[in-house]
Amino acid sequence: MIRPILRHGAGVLHTPARPVDAITPDILQLIDDMIQTMYVAPGIGLAAPQVGVALRIFVADISVGRNPADLLTFINPEFVERDGMQLEEEGCLSVPGFEATVARPQRAVVRGLDRDGKEQIVEGTGLLARCFQHEMDHLDGTLFVDRLRGLQKDLIVRKIRKLNRAGKW
Ligand code: NI
């Protein structure tokens, strides 16, 4: 089932998510829904808070469905290593219509459970490392806009407020 994607301003997007206690049928359904929602959007990653669920789960697929092996599900993920730095344009399904250059690690290693409850460790470089950092930020209640500085951040937030007032957000 495709779930609505919440936008900047929804409380759950700005609040740290809780760890998952047990991988129940409801959690598996949530993961299936998140994957479907991510592909339809389309996007390369989606975190549970984006569909209104304050749990530490994200899905990612930098091939956007072209390569089944690229589909990753992480439950209760944490960083094992991060190094280097990259500067690229970035957007978010919860901040549609806006992009900005965000500093991210060039390489990131994430450890967490897969949907079967098995521990997995995945190393990402370039786009995947960026995706990992972006989705992990979602689990901590941080959007890419929050990573921007002063004027650039203010400009986007002002435009969002304006859209909101116009009923277009
Ligand atoms: Ni996002």
Ligand 1 centroid to Cα of residue 135, in Å, is: 6
Distance between Cα 133 and ligand 1 center (Å): 10
In a domain, 146, yes or no: yes
Look up the CATH number of the domain holding residue 95: 3.90.45.10
pLDDT value, residue 150: 86
Outline where DSSP puts E strands in the chain.
45-47, 57-60, 72-83, 86-90, 100-104, 107-113, 119-125
Range of the domain at 80: 11-165
135 is catalytic: yes
Residue 29 lies in a domain: yes
What mean pLDDT is predicted for residues 98-115?
97
Assigned domain for 3 exists: no
SS3 state of residue 163: helix
The pLDDT, as a whole number, for residue 135 is 98
pTM for this entry: 0.97
Q: Look at the chain and report how many structural domains it folds into.
A: 1
Residue 22 lies in a domain: yes
Residue 111 has pLDDT above 90, yes or no: yes
Percent of the chain with pLDDT over 90: 99
Q: Taking 90 as the threshold, does the pLDDT of residue 63 lie above it?
A: yes
The whole-chain average pLDDT of the chain stands at 97
